[in-house]
Chains A and B, each alone.
Chain A
Amino acid sequence: MIEVRDLHMHFGGFRAVDGASLTLEQGSITGLIGPNGAGKTSLFNCIAGVLTPTSGQVFFDGEDITGLKPHELFHKGILRTFQIAHEFGSMTCRENLMMVPAGQSGETLWNTWFGRKRIAEEERALRAKADEVLEFLTISHIADLKAGEISGGQKKLLELGRTMMVDAKMVFLDEVGAGVNRTLLYTIGDAIKRLNVERGYTFCMIEHDMEFIKQLCDPVIVMAQGKVMATGSASEIMQNEAVIEAYLGTGVKNKKTEEAQ
C-alpha cells in the first residue's frame, strides 16, 4: 500500500534517515520501533509530507506521493497523529472532530450567508458522527470540554478520533501510547484493532512499549541509525540478536538466558 524506496533525509551533515526502504501492506498494523534518534519520526515526517526527503521515493498504491503537502495527502486518505498531541485548544472536543472533514459547504463565504439550510443539515450529520466517534473512544463525557483543558491521554484519543471522522486509508500514529496510563492504553489499543478489523484502516505506528507492540502489530520493523535493520513478527524481532543488541537491551537478553536455563 505504501512503499518507501531508498529514502534519505539529511539535516546538514546529519543523516537522520539514511537509505530506508520498506513496504506497508494493506490492512496491516505495522509497528516501527528503534532506539531514540533512529530516524523513525523523520521517516514519518517524510512520508506524511512535513519534510521533503533529500532523496528517495514514496509510493501510495503505486502512485508517487513524494513531497506532497500534508493537506494533499489528507485528501488521499493518508492521516497522521503527532508524538505530542495537537489540538485546537480553544474549541470543544466535539468541534475539534467536526473540523476534520474537508469540503464542507460552510467553507465558502457565499454559503455562509445564502446556504444556511444546507450547512445546518451537514452540521447535524457531522455532529452525530462526532458523537459516535466519541462514544467509540469511550470519551463521550468530554465532548463539550475545551480541547486545551483535557488530559494528555484524552488528547491522544482525540487524535485517534480525528482519523475516524473521514474515511482514512492509511494512518500513521506517532507514539500514540506514550504518557498514557495502562487502562487508557488498552482503550487505545482496542480502538486501533477495531478500526483495523471493522473499517479496514491500515496503520503504521511508532511505539516503544513492547507489550503493546506485541499485542497489536504484525509485522514489526526495526530501525537503527537511519536504516531498516530487521523486519518480522513481534516474536521474531524479540529473538533477533542484533535487535536485542541495538534496541531491546541486554535486559531482555538476560531474561531469555535465565528462561533458557
Chain B
Amino acid sequence: MDILNALVAFTNFVVVPATAYGSQLALGALGVTLIYGVLRFSNFAHGETMSFGAMVVVLVTGLFQSWGLSLGALPTALLALPFGILATALLLLLTDRVVYKFYRKVKAVPVMFVIVSTGVMFVMNGLVRMVVGTDDRRFSDGARFVINAREFKAWSGLNEGLALKTTQVITVVVAMITVAALFWFLNKTRTGKSMRAFSDNEDLALLSGINPERVVMITWLLVAALATIAGTLYGLDKSYKPFIFQQLLLPVFAAAIVGGIGNPLGAVAGGFVIAFSEVTLTYAFKKVVTYLGPDSWAPDGLVQLLSTDYKFAVSFAILIIVLLFKPTGLFKGQSI
C-alpha cells in the first residue's frame, strides 16, 4: 500500500488538469450568465465568441513573436490578450448594433433571441474559418513547466511524477484575478450595480436613472473580455482549434446552468463541478487502485468509469439531473 504515490498520481492526472479546465469553464460560464442575467437570453454564439477572441490573440502573438517580443518565461499570448479583448469587444458591439438591437426594440421573445444567436454563431464560425482556416495552432511559448515530472521524482524519491505546466498555473492565476475583478465590479461600482439592478428587475430599472443602452453596452464589453480570456486560456492549455469551441459550448452552458444561470457565483462553482466530474469520471484509476490495494489486488482493467470519448456526456447528464431536481441551479439563479 502506497498512499503517497496514489495521491501524487491522483493530483497529477485529476486535480491539476480539472482545476485548470474548471477555471476555463468558469470564465466561459460567467460570460453566458452575464448575458442571460442582463439581456435575458441564452447566447449560443458564446463559444464562437471565445474562438474569435482566442484567434485574434493567436494572430497578435504570432506578430509579436516575429518581432522578437516576449515575456520571458511567461507566454507572449498574455501580451496579446488586450488586443484580443479589444477586437472581440468591437465585434460584439457591432453584432449588437446590427442584430440584437433590432430584436430588443421589437421586444422579441427569448426563444427568438436564442435562434438569432445561433445564426450569429454560424456567422462568427465562418468568420474565424475564413481568417485562420481550420488547422490546429500551438501558440504557447516561454517555460513549459513550473514543476517537471522527472525533477519531481528525483526530488521526492517517489515512483509517480507530478507535472505542473506553466499554462495551468497561468490559467488558474488569470482566472482568479479576472473573477475577483468582475465581482468587485458588479458589487462595488455604480455601473456594476446598474447591471445587477437591470438583471433583478428590468421594469424598475427603466423607471430609475438607469440608461438601458449603456448597461447593454457595458455587458457586451465585459463579455468580450471574459470570452477572450477564457478562449485564450483554453487554447494555451491545449492548442487553438477553431472547431473545439462549438463542442465547448455544452460544458460551458452546463456550468452556467448547474451553478444557477444569471448568478455569477454559481457560474464559477458550476465550472468546477463540471470540470471535476468530467475529469474524474473519465480518468483510468488503475494506477491509484494498484498503489492503494495489496499487490494481489492489482486490477487488470483500466478502472475507468467512462471512456474519454464520452466526456461531453458527463456535462449533459449533470445538466439533466440538475434541471430535474433543482431547476434554479445550486446557487439560486433564474429558473429556465
Chain A residues with CB under 8 Å of chain B are 50, 69-71, 74-75, 79-80, 82, 86-91, 95, 99-104, 106-109, 112, 119, 123, 162, 166
Contact = CB atoms under 8 A, between A and B. Distances in A.
A91 B209 contact: no
Interface stretch (B42-50, B187-195, B286-294): B187-195
Interface string B189-220: 11101101100110111111111101000100
Nearest to B196: A90
Contacts of B205: 88, 99
Interface of B: 185, 189-191, 193-194, 196-197, 200-201, 203-212, 214, 218, 221
B68 to A, nearest CB: 32
Q: Which of A88, A89, A95, A112 has the most CB of B within 10 A?
A: A88
9 contacts: A69-B206, A71-B209, A75-B209, A82-B203, A87-B204, A99-B208, A99-B209, A101-B209, A119-B189
Contact of A70 (B194, B206, B218): B206
Given A89-B200, A91-B200, A99-B208, 9 more contacts: A75-B209, A88-B197, A88-B200, A90-B196, A91-B196, A102-B211, A107-B194, A112-B189, A119-B189
Given A99-B193, A109-B221, A119-B190, A104 B200 contact: no
A112 B190 contact: yes
Given A107-B191, A112-B185, A71 B201 contact: no
Nearest to A108: B191
Contacts of B203: 50, 70, 82, 86
Given A112-B185, A119-B190, A102 B208 contact: yes
Contacts of B200: 87-91
A194 B311 CA distance: 65
Contacts of B207: 70-71, 74, 79-80
A104 B206 contact: no
A91 B218 CA distance: 20
A84 B112 CA distance: 28
Contacts of B208: 71, 74, 99-100, 102, 162
B206 A106 contact: no
Give the 8 A-B CB pairs with smallest separation, nearest first.
Answer: A102-B209, A106-B190, A86-B204, A88-B200, A88-B197, A70-B206, A100-B208, A112-B189
Binding site secondary structure of chain A: loop
B219 to A, nearest CB: 12
Contact of B211 (A107, A123, A166): A107
A74 B277 CA distance: 49
A5 B183 CA distance: 49
Q: Which of B191, B204, B208 has the most CB of A within 10 A?
A: B208
A68 to B, nearest CB: 12
Contacts of A106: 189-191
B180 to A, nearest CB: 15
Nearest to B199: A90
A95 B193 contact: yes
Contacts of A99: 193-194, 197, 205, 208-210
A123 to B, nearest CB: 8
A87 B201 CA distance: 7
A200 B99 CA distance: 45
A69 B104 CA distance: 14
Contacts of A100: 208-209
B221 A102 contact: no
Contact of A104 (B190, B197, B218, B221): B190
Contacts of A108: 191, 214
A91 B189 contact: no
Nearest to A148: B200
A78 B204 CA distance: 14
Contacts of A166: 209
Contact of B204 (A88, A102, A109): A88
Nearest to A102: B209
Contacts of A70: 203, 206-207
Contacts of A75: 209
A69 B196 CA distance: 21
A123 B193 CA distance: 13
B132 to A, nearest CB: 30
Nearest to A88: B200
Contact of B209 (A87, A95, A104): A104
Contacts of B189: 106, 112, 119
Contacts of B211: 71, 102, 107
A108 B194 CA distance: 11
Nearest to B215: A107
Contacts of B210: 71, 99, 102
A86 B218 contact: no
A87 B197 CA distance: 9
Contacts of B193: 91, 95, 99
A62 B197 CA distance: 33
A99 B205 CA distance: 9
Contacts of A103: 209
Contact of B201 (A80, A88, A112): A88
Contacts of B191: 106-109, 112
